[in-house]
Structure 1
Amino acid sequence: MGKIVISENVSLDGVVEDPTGEDGLGRGSWFTCIGDADREAWAKVEFEEAVSAAALLMGRRTHAWFVARGWESRDGAWADRLRALPKYVVSSSALDGPEWTNSTVVKAAEVPELKQEVHGDLVVYGSSRLAHTLAERDLVDELRLMTYPVVVGAGERLFGETSAVKPMRLVVTRTVGESLVLLTYRPA
């Protein structure tokens, strides 16, 4: 049985929207507020996570984000690993434009079955809408929050309003570089 792991870059106040500023929402670029050493440490953690993943689970917009940034043709071990992983894209419609190798469209209702079929971590990058849906359906087994030392003050947060309280317990705290903290939670 698989384990759904939500892996997000978040600000101190929980914002996940537009971390690189590429979406032009006015409060982006908080991802770039860290130094080169922190960025290298972050990349190492992200690569390790990709190596240990069994598959990626993502929303249509996040899939399109990776495709638009050329992950299909990038060089390097990290890109090779992401390309090799099965990618399950939760969408109610077919994918537009170029595909990313090993991508399959699934409906949200199929995720519990997918969780039964995949052995290992199904890692969710980005995809805040999908993360919220998965949390609402109690399908999240682990949250990995790479926390940035910045308060954004506005923007989409990882979790908006929920139908009930979702108790979590902290299982790992890890400093990444000099400025980042990786917080890992599991349902209580």
Structure 2
Amino acid sequence: MKLTVLTFVSVDGVMQAPGGPDEDRGGGFARGGWLVPHFDEDMGRYVAEVFDQVDAFLLGRHTYDIFAGSWPKVTDPDDPVASRLNTLPKYVASTTLTTPPWGPTTVLSRDVPEEVAELKRRPGRELQVHGSGQLVRTLHEHDLVDEYRIAVFPVIVGDGRRLFADHGLPTNLSLVDSRTTGSGIAIHSYRPTGRPEYGTMEAG
């Protein structure tokens, strides 16, 4: 399976608690819910398009708990997001979760990069990661992500956790798709192409 990441970030790179004030108050974060005024019909159609390509989900523990608390309540079989999240296999990275409340769920607790690499070798279309910032950083450091889908919302949050670590694995990217929604969300899809090259700009 191809491992893809869809994440929502602000212009200044914040990904913490995009969907609501109480989604993640870690570190005293008090600016949650910053994407809500900008999420439009175009973005909704894009999300449905992404979920139409999924065969399994890979989630961090915090994102799993958020999803498990809300998506099982959406029972419409035609909902493009809930119909997949509630029925397809979910893999959650956690060393403390023992009895997953939302099936079908498998807990990855031993060696997450190794276990994810094994999942990628299985047949299927996409193994999708949504949110799950800490997990994404781990996957990035082990070169396990095949495609990043980054939706940049037109807001500067000014505080909160960023998507990538301050000192992480340098990676060159190739742009494979780009679009902009009516409210100004810029969606860019990138595929990693190895380590960057470096040079010096010269006048003329």
TM-score (norm 1): 0.89
Distance in 2 (CA, whole Å) between partners of 1:123 and 1:47 is 13
1:39 CA displacement: 2.4
Question: Which residue does 1:99 correspond to in 2?
Answer: 101
Question: Which residue does 1:115 correspond to in 2?
Answer: 120
Distance in 1 (CA, whole Å) between partners of 2:49 and 2:57 is 14
The answer on 1:9 being equivalent to 2:12 is no
Question: Which residue does 1:26 correspond to in 2?
Answer: 30
Deviations along 1:42-88, one digit per CA (max 9) or x if unpaired, are: 2221122112111110011111011122x113133231222121111
Give the structure, 1 or 2, with the largest relative contact order (CA under 8 Å, sep 6 or more): 1
Q: How many residues align?
A: 182
1:122 CA displacement: 0.8
User: Could you list the runs of 5+ residues in structure 2 that have no partner in the other structure?
Assistant: 194-204
1:101 CA displacement: 2.3
8 A contact 1:60–1:95 mirrored in 2 = no
Deviations along 1:116-142, one digit per CA (max 9) or x if unpaired, are: 014211110010000000000000100
1:28 CA displacement: 1.8
Change (3 A) 1:144 1:63: same
Q: Larger C-alpha radius of gyration, 1 or 2?
A: 2
Q: What is the aligned counterpart of 2:178 among 161, 173, 176? A: 173
Question: Which residue does 2:202 correspond to in 1?
Answer: none
Runs of 4+ residues deviating >4 angstroms: none
Higher strand share: 1
Distance in 2 (CA, whole Å) between partners of 1:66 and 1:95 is 17
Distance in 1 (CA, whole Å) between partners of 2:144 and 2:30 is 33
Q: Which moved more, 1:122-131 or 1:104-113?
A: 104-113
SS at structure 2 position matched to 1:165: coil
1:1-188 mapped onto 2 (5 Å cutoff): 2-19=1-18, 20-22=20-22, 23-24=24-25, 25-34=29-38, 38-69=39-70, 71-76=71-76, 77=79, 78-95=81-98, 99-107=101-109, 108=112, 109-188=114-193
Higher helix share: 1
8 A contact 2:59–2:93 mirrored in 1 = yes
Give the residue type in structure 2 aligned to 1:41.
D
1:95 CA displacement: 4.1
Aligned CA-pair RMSD: 1.6
